[in-house]
Amino acid sequence: MKTQSKRFEIIADQFLLQLQHLRTFFQLLADELYYTGQYLIKKRGIYPGEIGKQFFFMAYKSFPIVCLITFLVGVTISLTSAAQLKLFGADIYLSWFVGIAMLRELVPLMTGVILAGKIGASVTAEISTMKVLDEIDALKTMGIIPEKFLMVPRLIAITLAVPLLVAIADFVGIFGGVMVGRYFSGIPPESFIREMLNIVSLKDFFIGLVKTMIFGWAIIISSGFKGFFVKKGAEEVGRATTESVVLSISLIILLDCVFAFFLYF
């Protein structure tokens, strides 16, 4: 009897702790929105030139891998669907499928996952290292708000980098589809594109863009959340970094599911 109530207590404590974490996460999110707005109005509180530096880092660092991955995904998904469509003699509809799937779903998802692994991990590693080395404390006693100084440039930079990455990824992913259409299903590229434009519109591009943007913000907030709450010790940096990637990817998939409901339900 006694052990049972003890067990219950442990579960309850765990639950409360998780609730506490959830609150901290949303608190950070609200703070960051506030600080970003405040920066955009007053142009103060972050280091001059930092946005450009972060933008360059984010766009440049993830550009090659985003291209490679979306091309491969484009090819894979096209081959899979082309094989099925062949059975019905509906080869030409490959372009519809690839266009919609890439723009709306696969590019946002893959770009999000890559950004989580590349940018999110490095943001968490950087911030948690700063925390462990007292740099965050040093910022505070210099009268600087670390949550603004470190996070706002990254949030703005990812907002600027995402459209670029999405546009390139869309292009490369569809190019993968065109290749498969050409060499596997014998669809000439012109017909592929013409057929695709019948159904794919700018709206699809923007849906994908907005989704990726929100994934990007989720990644930066999650990374900051995991980075700032490291207490001490270098070994915690590694753990926080891993956790931040897991959290970002889980959030991306959760948000994606929510979007799907809003778009199609």
Partner 1 sequence: MDIITVSDLDVGYGNATILKKLNFSIPKGQVTVMLGKSGCGKSTLMKTLIGLIPPLKGDIFFSGEKIDFLSEESLHSLYKRIGVLYQNGALLNSLNVYENVALPIRMRQESLKREKEERAVYQRLSQVGLGESLEKYPSELSGGMRKRAALARAMILDPEILFCDEPSAGLDPITSSGLDELLLDLKQTLGMTVVVVTHELRSIEKIADKVMVLREGEMHFSGKYEDLFSMDDAFIETFFLKKGRNHD
Ligand X SMILES: Nc1ncnc2c1ncn2[C@@H]1O[C@H](COP(=O)(O)OP(=O)(O)O)[C@@H](O)[C@H]1O
Q: Which does 2 bind (CB under 5 to 8 A by kind): partner 1, ligand X, none?
A: none
Total site size for ligand X, rule CB under 6 A: 2
Residue 130 C-beta: closest distance to ligand X, Å: 14
User: Residue 168 in contact with residue 63, Cβ under 8 Å?
Assistant: yes
Contact between 117 and partner 1 by CB under 8 A: the answer reads no
And the tokens for 158? 């990812």
And the tokens for 86? 């062949």
Residues 6+ apart with CB under 8 A from 73: 106, 110, 173, 176
Distance of CA 174 to CAs 84, 85, 96, 170, Å?
18, 17, 11, 6
Residues 14-73 that bind ligand X (CB under 6 A): none
Contact between 231 and ligand X by CB under 6 A: the answer reads yes
Contact between 135 and partner 1 by CB under 8 A: the answer reads yes
Contact between 42 and partner 1 by CB under 8 A: the answer reads no
Among the listed residues 29, 31, 45, 63, the single contact to partner 1 using CB under 8 A: 45
Contact between 2 and ligand X by CB under 6 A: the answer reads no
Alpha helices in the chain (DSSP H): 2-42, 50-87, 94-100, 107-115, 121-132, 135-141, 146-149, 151-183, 189-199, 202-228, 234-264
Q: Which does 79 bind (CB under 5 to 8 A by kind): ligand X, partner 1, none?
A: none
Buried b (16+ CB within 10 A) or exposed e, 138-163: ebeeeebbbbbbbbbbbbbbbbebbe
Residue 133 C-beta: closest distance to partner 1, Å: 6
Among the listed residues 100, 144, 160, 253, the single contact to partner 1 using CB under 8 A: 144
Q: Which does 25 bind (CB under 5 to 8 A by kind): ligand X, partner 1, none?
A: none
Return the closest-CA partner of residue 204 out of 120, 101, 128: 101
Nearer to ligand X, 165 or 240 (CB): 240
Residue 233 C-beta: closest distance to ligand X, Å: 8
Query: What DSSP string describes 133-148?
Result: TTHHHHHHHTT--HHH
And the tokens for 179? 């290749």
Residue 19 C-beta: closest distance to partner 1, Å: 19
Among the listed residues 5, 42, 232, 257, the single contact to ligand X using CB under 6 A: 232
Q: How far apart are the C-alpha atoms of 261 and 26, rounded to whole Å?
A: 23
Contact between 47 and partner 1 by CB under 8 A: the answer reads yes
Give residues in contact with partner 1 (CB under 8 A).
44-45, 47-48, 130, 133-135, 137-144, 149
